[in-house]
Amino acid sequence: MERLPSFSGLTAFYAAARHGTLTAAAQELNVSQPAVSRRIAALEADLGCALFDRSRKPVRMTPQGKDLLQALHSGFGQIEASVARLRQSAQGRVVTVSAPAGFVAFWLIPRLGALEDAFPGVTIRILSQEYGEAIRPGDLLIRFGLPETGAGQELRLLGDEVFPVASPLYLARLGMAADQHDFARMTLLTMEAARSQWHDWPSWFQEAGLAMPPGARALDFNSYAMLVNAALAGQGVCLAWGGVLDSFLDTGALVRLQGPSASSARGYFASARDGLAAGRDVRDILAWIAEKAT
């Protein structure tokens, strides 16, 4: 790892580069102009190259200076964004919920208004990740998968029922109905095989006691949200987790295909990162979500 120059040098240069004069940089930094002059001179000595051309007044940046300015703009920008988030979070009551993207899109967001109404004064931050991606850190974690042994405080959300759903327009186009459908003539929307955590169509047919139609047409997605949008757009039939797509089932945008369903040990699980030591807000929101999802 390259040893970084002094921070005061970098910030002095960054301010001078943005303002165009060392004097203005000094004002921004609440230091004197000679302090800025010296910081930048020390930085240049450290780096071994000139960042400003001083044959003119005010100074002009060299190409090396521009190179460093771009890096500082980007690097400081990202650090500043994180710092701002942490400071804001510390001032208010903020609860960060980390959950799979499909759950966020189809279950959590339709209920976000109600959640925020239930907890006035608390800022709810939501971090989502696609299936297969690493879980992002949060106060309250929702994951999809098998129950973990020894996890202790993990609550199971939603039912364990898995069933096919499709758009009524799609069914009508094929001359089918919810209680009169033929999988062999439908497109099966599915998550990519790499997502081994997912309940796929072969598993579903097997558990439903049906034979999977040979040569069934399949359409692969690497995002459950996109997959569900394809179903909504009439591109095929997809598997729904009990409870996840209920807002669409309630409005009729999607209908459940009549017939057997399958059950699975997999499901959505929620936990507070700090367990019983979690803050009151976190525990309350976890309880709220568990109640609405079961």
Count Cβ atoms within 10 A of the Cβ of residue 272 and give its class: 0-12 exposed, 13-18 middle, 19 or more buried: buried
Q: Which amino acid is at 80?
A: E
The binder of 253, among DNA, a second copy, none, by C-beta within 5 to 8 A per type, is: none
The window from 34-42, 96-104, 155-163, 273-281 that contacts DNA (CB under 7 A) reads 34-42
> Taking CB under 8 A as the rule, does residue 118 contact a second copy?
no
CA distance 228 to 238: 7
When the beta carbons of 35 and 135 are compared against DNA, the nearer one is 35
> Taking CB under 7 A as the rule, does residue 33 contact DNA?
yes
Number of residues that bind a second copy (CB under 8 A): 43
The interface mask with a second copy, positions 242-281, x = CB under 8 A, is -------------------------------x--------
The interface mask with DNA, positions 58-97, x = CB under 7 A, is xx--------------------------------------
Tell me which residues in 4-43 interact with a second copy (CB under 8 A). Answer: 4-8, 10-11
Min. distance of Cβ 117 from a second copy in angstroms?
25
The binder of 263, among DNA, a second copy, none, by C-beta within 5 to 8 A per type, is: none
| Sequence-ordered alpha helix ranges (H) in the chain | 7-19, 22-29, 33-47, 63-91, 101-103, 112-118, 168-173, 201-207, 224-232, 246-251, 280-292
When the beta carbons of 24 and 178 are compared against DNA, the nearer one is 24
> Taking CB under 8 A as the rule, does residue 77 contact a second copy?
yes
Query: Which of 272, 281, 221, 243 has its CA nearest to residue 163?
Result: 243
The window from 50-58, 145-153, 242-250, 275-283 that contacts DNA (CB under 7 A) reads 50-58
Non-local (6+) Cβ contacts of 282 within 8 A are: 95, 139, 140, 272, 273, 274
> Taking CB under 7 A as the rule, does residue 47 contact DNA?
no
The window from 17-25, 75-83, 114-122, 227-235 that contacts DNA (CB under 7 A) reads 17-25
Q: Which amino acid is at 20?
A: G
> Taking CB under 8 A as the rule, does residue 196 contact a second copy?
no
- Edge-to-edge strands of the sheet including 267-272? 122-129, 93-100, 140-145, 267-272, 155-157
Q: Which two tokens stand for residue 18?
A: 């943005």
Q: Which two tokens stand for residue 264?
A: 């699975």
Contact 137, 270 (CB under 8 A): no
Query: Which of 146, 149, 144 has its CA nearest to residue 241?
Result: 144
Binding site for DNA (CB under 7 A): 6, 8, 16, 21-23, 30-35, 37-42, 52, 54-59
Binding site for a second copy (CB under 8 A): 1-2, 4-8, 10-11, 47-49, 62-64, 66-68, 70-72, 74-87, 89-91, 96, 137-139, 273
